[in-house]
């Protein structure tokens, strides 16, 4: 597999951005080469652009058991999370209290902190255990009469842990609290349903389906083979939402701005390619992941798994390797032609330890030794051997 502008490498950073699927590329090229037009224009090219956007909306809605009117296109996961948190909390006058967790993506946590800072909201940030699982009982108790929103991610990109949202979401929803889940990482590998039934190809973990008790769900196209810079907030049609981007009133007034027609077409093509394959892909990735985990723990001194051993994303393996800096591991692997991350790509470039790893109870020092492998396809045996070789050499070098 190769990434743009670089030689063929073992690309093991799908959790940052997955390789573009050929179906998505073809759909985007068809739009770009067919002559782009504004989907709001009142002429034939504009009508065709509108048709593409609405076709994509219907396809994405069908894949997650939503209705087309529930899909709001955004510029990606960050914007969809911001719209969910800020837009839903400001539009709903139940109270000024939000519940979230210590391991949410920064786009969730920073949106909550924005509401705290500017609008006087109160925040309950739920702790997680050493595996990254939220205590369901503590979470349920955190809900108060003035709680407006609960936002808990379905799967964590840094440590791979998959939450069982069912109990918390059902309780919050039963009390009239709006429930949002960031499904950006989960949607690439697990069946994610906004409806009451199991999605097609449902496996391997039924408890991961957010289902009817979730009111809003975030997805981002580039995490499963669509283009970067496009995503969606899927939100129940009856819920009021305060826009965070103001203008011409596109996307049922919730997100103004000319639609990214080519990006949206690529997003829908990636969704179509993913749907139906998800169970078999997950099983193949799990085999590779488990082999990578087993060999790394057995053959690399000081290696420890981060995140849950079994409740984790199928292609995700993350570790700390005591005594070696994560950055130097990254460079050594990159030099050997293997692309990985030390934490989330969004946090890359920062030298502070990851707040997610600290929330698990890791020391600053150990958190700085993190390395993450995230697979879009099963690992070639030679790549696995190479990884082990490079890591062992780095540990020996100290
Ligand atoms: C769980 C999660 N949420 C949100 C995002 C942000 O998505 P985007 O990169 O499309 O803005 C990411 C990206 O890494 C993520 O992993």
Least trusted range by pLDDT, from 24-28, 143-147, 164-168? 164-168
Q: What is the CATH number of the domain that holds 380?
A: 3.90.1150.10
297-325 average pLDDT score:
97
Residue where a domain stops, chosen among 274, 307, 327:
274
138, 57: one domain: yes
pLDDT (0 to 100) of residue 203 = 44
Question: Residue 182, SS3?
Answer: strand
Q: Does any ligand 1 atom lie closer than 6 A to the CB of residue 78?
A: yes
Residue where a domain stops, chosen among 230, 247, 274:
274
Q: Does any ligand 1 atom lie closer than 6 A to the CB of residue 157?
A: yes
Q: C-alpha distances in angstroms, 290 versus 48, 129, 305, 313?
A: 46, 22, 11, 11
256, 288: one domain: no
225, 287: one domain: no
39, 169: one domain: yes
Residue 1 within a domain: no
Q: Which atom of ligand 1 is nearest to the CA of 153?
A: 1
DSSP 313: -
Q: Which atom of ligand 1 is nearest to the CA of 345?
A: 14
pLDDT (0 to 100) of residue 360 = 97
Let me know: does 391 contact 384? Beta carbons within 8 Å: no
How many whole angstroms from 180 Cα to the centroid of ligand 1?
A: 15
Q: Does any ligand 1 atom lie closer than 6 A to the CB of residue 184?
A: yes
How many whole angstroms from 184 Cα to the centroid of ligand 1?
A: 6
DSSP 70: G
pLDDT in tens, 283-303: 999 999 999 999 999 999 999
β-strand pairing of 316-321 with 338-339: unpaired
295, 392: one domain: yes
293-314 average pLDDT score:
97
214, 326: one domain: no
196, 304: one domain: no
Let me know: does 266 contact 221? Beta carbons within 8 Å: yes
Residue whose CA lies nearest to ligand 1 atom number 8: 77
Q: Look-up: residue for tokens 């990482």?
A: 185
Least trusted range by pLDDT, from 78-82, 133-137, 383-387? 133-137
How many whole angstroms from 77 Cα to the centroid of ligand 1?
A: 5
pLDDT in tens, 266-278: 999 999 999 878 8
Q: C-alpha distances in angstroms, 284 versus 34, 204, 315?
A: 37, 12, 9
pLDDT in tens, 219-270: 999 999 999 999 999 999 999 999 999 999 999 999 999 999 999 999 999 9
374, 322: one domain: yes
Residue where a domain stops, chosen among 255, 274, 293:
274
Residue 119 within a domain: yes
Rounded to the nearest 10 degrees, the angle between the axes of helix 44-64 and helix 261-274 is 30
308-324 average pLDDT score:
96
Q: Which atom of ligand 1 is nearest to the CA of 156?
A: 1
288, 362: one domain: yes
How many whole angstroms from 13 Cα to the centroid of ligand 1?
A: 13
127, 203: one domain: yes
Total domains in the fold of the chain: 2
Q: Does any ligand 1 atom lie closer than 6 A to the CB of residue 107?
A: yes
Residue 5 within a domain: no
Q: Residue 150's pLDDT band (boundaries 50, 70, 90)?
A: very high
How many whole angstroms from 284 Cα to the centroid of ligand 1?
A: 24
Q: Does any ligand 1 atom lie closer than 6 A to the CB of residue 225?
A: no
Q: What is the CATH number of the domain that holds 91?
A: 3.40.640.10
40-68 average pLDDT score:
96
Q: C-alpha distances in angstroms, 378 versus 1, 12, 15, 81?
A: 11, 10, 14, 30
Q: Does any ligand 1 atom lie closer than 6 A to the CB of residue 77?
A: yes
pLDDT (0 to 100) of residue 352 = 82
Question: Residue 189, SS3?
Answer: coil
Residue 4 within a domain: no
Residue whose CA lies nearest to ligand 1 atom number 9: 77
Whether 207 shows a pLDDT value over 60: the answer reads: no
191-214 average pLDDT score:
61
Which residues are tagged catalytic?
346
Residue 236 within a domain: yes
Helix residue ranges, H only, the chain? 22-33, 44-64, 77-82, 88-91, 106-119, 136-142, 166-174, 261-274, 278-299, 326-335, 355-359, 364-367, 381-397
Helix residue ranges, H only, 159-229? 166-174
Question: Across the chain, what does the average pLDDT equal?
Answer: 91
Rounded to the nearest 10 degrees, the angle between the axes of helix 326-335 and helix 381-397 is 130
15, 30: one domain: no
Pocket test for ligand 1, best of 75, 104, 185 (most atoms within 8 A of CB): 185
Residue 16 within a domain: yes
Whether 282 shows a pLDDT value over 60: the answer reads: yes
Whether 202 shows a pLDDT value over 80: the answer reads: no
How many whole angstroms from 351 Cα to the centroid of ligand 1?
A: 19
Residue 270 within a domain: yes
Whether 172 shows a pLDDT value over 80: the answer reads: yes
pLDDT (0 to 100) of residue 7 = 41
Q: Which residue has the higher pLDDT, 139 or 39?
A: 39
Q: Does any ligand 1 atom lie closer than 6 A to the CB of residue 182?
A: yes
Whether 3 shows a pLDDT value over 70: the answer reads: no
Residue 3 within a domain: no
Whether 58 shows a pLDDT value over 50: the answer reads: yes
Which domain covers residue 348, as residue numbers?
Answer: 10-20+278-397
Please name the residues in contact with 331: beta carbons below 8 A apart, sequence gap of 6 or more.
Answer: none
pLDDT in tens, 350-384: 668 999 999 999 999 999 999 999 999 999 999 99
pLDDT (0 to 100) of residue 193 = 83
282, 319: one domain: yes
């Amino acid at each position: 597999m190769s990434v743009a502008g670089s030689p063929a490498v073992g690309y093991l950073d799908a959790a940052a951005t997955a390789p573009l699927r050929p179906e998505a590329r073809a759909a985007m090229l068809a739009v770009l080469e067919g002559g782009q037009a504004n989907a709001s224009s009142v002429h034939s090219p504009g009508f065709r652009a509108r048709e593409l956007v609405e076709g994509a909306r219907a396809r994405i809605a069908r894949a997650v058991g939503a209705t087309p009117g529930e899909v709001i296109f955004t510029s990606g996961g960050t914007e969809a999370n911001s719209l969910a948190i800020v837009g839903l909390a400001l539009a709903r006058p139940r109270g000024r209290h939000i519940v979230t967790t210590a391991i949410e993506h920064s786009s969730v946590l920073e949106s909550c902190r924005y509401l705290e800072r500017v609008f006087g909201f109160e925040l309950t940030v739920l702790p997680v255990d050493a595996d990254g699982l939220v205590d369901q009982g503590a979470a349920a108790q955190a809900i108060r009469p003035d709680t407006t929103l609960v936002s808990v991610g379905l799967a964590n990109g840094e440590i791979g842990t998959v939450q069982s949202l069912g109990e918390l979401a059902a309780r919050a929803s039963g009390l009239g609290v709006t429930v949002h889940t960031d499904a950006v990482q989960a949607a690439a590998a697990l069946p994610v349903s906004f409806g009451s039934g199991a999605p097609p190809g449902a496996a391997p973990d039924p408890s991961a389906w957010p289902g009817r008790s979730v009111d809003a769900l975030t997805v981002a196209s580039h995490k499963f083979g669509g283009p970067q810079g496009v995503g969606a907030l899927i939100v129940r049609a009856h819920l009021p939402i305060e826009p965070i981007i103001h203008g011409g009133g596109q996307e049922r007034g919730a997100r103004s701005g000319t639609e990214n027609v080519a990006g949206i077409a690529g997003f829908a093509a990636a969704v179509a390619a993913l749907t139906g394959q998800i169970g078999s892909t997950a099983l193949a990735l799990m085999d590779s992941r488990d082999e990578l985990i087993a060999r790394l723990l057995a053959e690399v001194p000081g290696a420890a798994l981060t995140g849950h051993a079994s409740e984790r994303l199928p292609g995700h393996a993350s570790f700390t390797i005591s005594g070696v800096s994560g950055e130097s591991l990254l460079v050594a692997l990159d030099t050997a032609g293997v692309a990985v991350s030390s934490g989330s790509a969004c946090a890359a470039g920062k030298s502070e330890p990851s707040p997610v790893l600290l929330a698990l109870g890791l020391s600053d020092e150990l958190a700085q030794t993190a390395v993450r492998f995230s697979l879009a396809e099963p690992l070639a045996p030679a790549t696995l051997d190479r990884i082990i070789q490079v890591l062992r050499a780095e540990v020996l070098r100290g």
